[in-house]
Copies of this chain bind each other. A is one copy, B any other.
């Protein structure tokens, strides 16, 4: 069967970025550029014109921008989005008969051929355009058409004039134009979605009085400390009432002491569930006050969303249909056979009442949005359906496009990426287990230099309350310094769980395990934050450097450089306008001084290889005069295991001396 219209000669293929054939949107932040490329071609030798279209979802009108040919039938266009929310984009291409004619005419004129008939063909094209033109343009076009019909050298000159080309472009025909068969999605977030330093702490450990349960008020006192280290986001583990049945004791023991506070992730008791606040922390008013107090310090609060219930959560009695029942009448607890987690009831997402369950869970997030929370760290998202998250995040962001969701997706690679695709703004990832130069180079290249960067924002955490990596257990303070600097400079978003981190807490529950000894998840801690060997100052300095150097705000600009020592890693980042170029060099060996030669691609860095340039270490304020592609570095882990250089291209010479001329 013949198609409706067989004259659409242009075909469009391989549009980038495009995630899973357009099934999922890409992500950008406000003001950021989206570069779109496509293979656009037609049969024969006719010239094409192509355009990039984009619009905010719901808008009827597309904004159109021209695309430029890159050669090899590849076209490129770009646009910048200025508003939060969902956009879509697509491309189109058409045979441009005027452009074809004009290109060919130029060749004929150059070859000295008789072009009288060609000028008449051109006149016909101009006269056809006239009917599509505005009144003003029509007047001009009519004059051109007459000139072409008059022919001769003057006709040819007018035919090839840029004015005529511009006019013809303005009312181009686009007959049989081909529009790409997909409208591709784009989610625009605010800058915090991309760039931010996170700090996790347990509010209950914030009391100034050792042993006493900390409150939101105590936490307010702690804000100055957090702010002094330059953090942007303060993330709190769940703040809800903690279940009492099957409560876990210290060190995750099934034997619980009278005063053991339990894990904050065992959510729900007679005192309430996911919309309630643990009474010992304070009231909802206290919480709202805390948000405001944090805002005064430039800190935004992030809450934990853990969709699971302690056995005494009100949902269990009010909505037994949301849980799986066992033949003996009990409710199915969480399991990873043969391990049993009897303190946790998972929701049954295959329940007949899934619609009500979804709505209720959405109302939980909405409740906290209504209290002023805009950032959510989602616990174990990979144990709830992908489609559920896709729906929930879209629902919340429809009215609150500034919402940010960080997925604690410590799961298999494709599930991790799958959650990012369905809507999570950011994701935890395998950074805690990437420690050698090869591992870091491979993994960060995957995260920042492949399609992954289009849909996933990596948030790099060297530790969490569940993860004390071996490298930190054995490397001592130098290891904590190195991992902090790596996390803070490899990615625009990173976080630490403190004060454990800055105090270099490194004792695991047992050799070969990654859980903390005496984990804060099961007990109230009293941290001596004024310890003299705290990393507080270093962290503050690093976060200040991040804020002052725009190169650290982007995700796609990471490049690794060769060092002739496997213990030293070096990478550079640059701001979009290339005005800020940073080079980070880290000694990955926490035990020994290491040295080596770094090889830099000077041309890529915009450095004249014949001129010296300055490597200014922002950590120590030391300045090194470098020259050429290979330069020496030496790093002692006992002092500072890294350089964070800003590269200054221009170095003063005698020409700059006041009286030189």
A interface residues with partner B (beta carbon < 8 Å)? 2-3, 6-9, 11, 13-14, 20-23, 39, 41-45, 72-73, 95, 104-105, 107-108, 110-111, 113, 117, 120-121, 123-124, 175-176, 181-182, 326-328, 330, 335-338, 349-350, 354-355, 358-359, 382-388, 391, 412-415, 418
> Considering the chains assembled together, what is the distance between the CA atoms of A279 and B358 in angstroms?
79
> Considering the chains assembled together, what is the distance between the CA atoms of A265 and B219 in angstroms?
87
Q: A72 contacts B383, CB within 8 Å? A: no
Q: A2 contacts B113, CB within 8 Å? A: no
Nearest Cβ distance between residue A2 and chain B, in whole angstroms?
Answer: 6
CB < 8 Å: which of B11, B111, B384 contacts A386?
Answer: B11
> Considering the chains assembled together, what is the distance between the CA atoms of A500 and B413 in angstroms?
58
Nearest Cβ distance between residue A174 and chain B, in whole angstroms?
Answer: 13
> Considering the chains assembled together, what is the distance between the CA atoms of A326 and B72 in angstroms?
31
Using CB atoms, name the residue of chain B closest to A324.
Answer: B121
Q: A176 contacts B337, CB within 8 Å? A: no
Using CB atoms, name the residue of chain B closest to A20.
Answer: B13
CB < 8 Å: which of B13, B21, B176, B327 contacts A117?
Answer: B327
Using CB atoms, name the residue of chain B closest to A382.
Answer: B43
Q: A6 contacts B388, CB within 8 Å? A: yes
Residues of B within 8 A of A358 (CB): 2, 6
Nearest Cβ distance between residue A55 and chain B, in whole angstroms?
Answer: 21
Residues of B within 8 A of A415 (CB): 41, 43, 73
Q: What are 22 A-B contacts defined by CB distance under 8 Å?
A: A2-B391, A3-B391, A6-B385, A6-B388, A6-B391, A7-B354, A8-B387, A14-B20, A41-B414, A42-B385, A43-B383, A43-B385, A44-B382, A44-B384, A45-B383, A72-B414, A73-B413, A108-B337, A117-B326, A120-B326, A121-B326, A175-B350
Nearest Cβ distance between residue A7 and chain B, in whole angstroms?
Answer: 5
The copy count of this chain in the complex is 2
Residues of B within 8 A of A354 (CB): 6-7
Residues of B within 8 A of A386 (CB): 9, 11, 42-43
Nearest Cβ distance between residue A326 and chain B, in whole angstroms?
Answer: 6
Residues of B within 8 A of A39 (CB): 414
Q: A45 contacts B336, CB within 8 Å? A: yes
Q: B43 contacts A6, CB within 8 Å? A: no
Residues of B within 8 A of A104 (CB): 335, 337
Q: B413 contacts A6, CB within 8 Å? A: no
Q: A387 contacts B337, CB within 8 Å? A: no
Known: A72-B414, A117-B326. 10 other contacts (CB 8 A): A7-B385, A9-B386, A41-B414, A41-B418, A43-B383, A43-B384, A108-B337, A117-B327, A120-B328, A121-B326
Q: A111 contacts B72, CB within 8 Å? A: no
Using CB atoms, name the residue of chain B closest to A149.
Answer: B327
Nearest Cβ distance between residue A22 and chain B, in whole angstroms?
Answer: 7
Using CB atoms, name the residue of chain B closest to A419.
Answer: B43
> Considering the chains assembled together, what is the distance between the CA atoms of A502 and B354 in angstroms?
75
Nearest Cβ distance between residue A116 and chain B, in whole angstroms?
Answer: 8
Residues of B within 8 A of A414 (CB): 13, 39, 41, 72-73
Residues of B within 8 A of A385 (CB): 6-7, 9, 42-43
Q: B21 contacts A349, CB within 8 Å? A: no
> Considering the chains assembled together, what is the distance between the CA atoms of A3 and B328 in angstroms?
33
Using CB atoms, name the residue of chain B closest to A39.
Answer: B414
Residues of B within 8 A of A176 (CB): 350
Using CB atoms, name the residue of chain B closest to A103.
Answer: B337
> Considering the chains assembled together, what is the distance between the CA atoms of A384 and B121 in angstroms?
22
Top 10 A-B pairs, shortest CB-CB distance: A111-B338, A21-B21, A120-B327, A104-B337, A107-B337, A73-B414, A9-B385, A44-B383, A117-B328, A6-B354
Q: B117 contacts A387, CB within 8 Å? A: no
Residues of B within 8 A of A123 (CB): 327
Residues of B within 8 A of A6 (CB): 349, 354-355, 358, 385, 387-388, 391
Residues of B within 8 A of A110 (CB): 338
CB < 8 Å: which of B13, B23, B350 contacts A418?
Answer: B13
Residue among A175, A354, A418 with the highest chain B CB neighbour number at 10 A: A418
Using CB atoms, name the residue of chain B closest to A122.
Answer: B327
Using CB atoms, name the residue of chain B closest to A121.
Answer: B327
Residue among A42, A123, A385 with the highest chain B CB neighbour number at 10 A: A385
State whether A413 and B72 are in contact (beta carbons under 8 Å apart), knowing that A326-B121, A327-B121, A337-B104 are contacts in the complex: yes
Residues of B within 8 A of A175 (CB): 350
Q: A412 contacts B72, CB within 8 Å? A: yes
Residues of B within 8 A of A124 (CB): 327
